[in-house]
Amino acid sequence: MNKATIICVDDEKIVLSSIKQQLKRHFNHKFSIETVESAEDALELIFELQEDNIEIPLLISDHIMPAMKGDELIIKCEKFIPNALKILLTGQVTPEAIGNIINHANLYRYISKPWNEKDFLLTIDEAIQKYYTEQRLKEQEEQFKSIINNINIGIFCIPLMGNGNYMQINPALIKLLGYTDKNARNNSLLQHFSDASKKEYFLKKIRLKGEVKNLEVDFTTKLGDNIKVSIYASAQYDQKQANIKWINGIVENIS
C-alpha cells in the first residue's frame, strides 16, 4: 500500500531539505515526504499522486516564490485536494495574502520563517490529527446516511417553528407519505395529521416533555390515502437547553 504523502513546496533547496529531514525524523517513515521547488511542480505532483490514488493529508508551501506565490497555489489546490490541510511558510506575509486565502481556501495555519523545530512539528502533528479526525467523521456520516436511506422505517427532522417543512426526510418516509423525491422537502409532517387535535397534542407534548413515544395517529397521505402510524419524536434543544431548535423522529406504518 502506498503511503499517504505530505507535499512541501519551496524555491529554496536548503529550506526544502531542512523541512524534509525534520518531518522524516519526526514521523519515522509513517508518511512519504515529497518536495518540489515551484507551485507548478506541486500541481503536477498532486495530479500524479491522485492518478495513483495516494492520499494527500497535508500541503506545506512557501509564500514568496517566482511565477506563482504560495497563496495562489493554496487557492488552486482547494479545487484538487479540498480535504488536505494547507500550511503557509513565510517571512513576508501580508494581511492581503492571508485574507485572500481565508476567503477562497482552507488555510490551516501560517508559520513564520525561521521557525522553531519543536513548534513546527507540533503544528504538523495537530494538522495531521485534525485531517484524520475529519476523515473519520465524514466516513461515519456517510455510513449513517447509508443506514438512514436504506432502513424501511420513516425518519424525519422538522423545525418546531415556521412552516414545519422537512429539514431531513428519508426515502422510506417519502414513499410512505406519497411524495416524490423532488417535492418532499416542500411539505411538512404536520400537514398529514387527519385529526387537528392530535396534532396539537403532539406539539404540546414536545414543548412540555421534550418527546412523544408511540403516539398512534391517523395520517392522510399526499395521495389522499388514510393510514394509521406510530410516531416517536424527541426535541433537540439549543446549547443552553432553553429553546427547541428542531424535532427528530420516526414514523412507522401500523395500518
Q: What is the pLDDT of residues 199-247, one digit of tens each?
A: 999 999 999 999 999 999 999 999 999 999 999 999 999 877 778 989 9
Q: What is the CATH number of the domain that holds 198?
A: 3.30.450.20
* Same domain (yes/no): 14, 111: yes
Of the three residues 115, 147, 179, the one that is the final residue of a domain is 147
The model carries a pTM of 0.68
* Same domain (yes/no): 141, 157: no
Q: What is the CATH number of the domain that holds 51?
A: 3.40.50.2300
* Same domain (yes/no): 77, 190: no
How many structural domains comprise the chain?
Answer: 2
* Same domain (yes/no): 126, 185: no
* Same domain (yes/no): 224, 245: yes
pLDDT digits (tens, 9 = 90+) for 13-67: 999 999 999 999 999 889 999 999 999 999 999 999 999 999 999 999 998 899 8
Q: Which three cell numbers stand for residue 157?
A: 427532522
SS (H, E, C) 137-158: HHHHHHHHHHHHHHCCCEEEEE
Strands 85-90 and 107-112: parallel
CB 42 within 8 A of CB 59: yes
By the 10 Å C-beta count (0-12 exposed, 13-18 middle, 19+ buried), 58 is classed as buried
Of the three residues 147, 172, 187, the one that is the final residue of a domain is 147
Q: What is the domain extent for residue 121?
A: 5-147
* Same domain (yes/no): 33, 143: yes
* Same domain (yes/no): 233, 170: yes
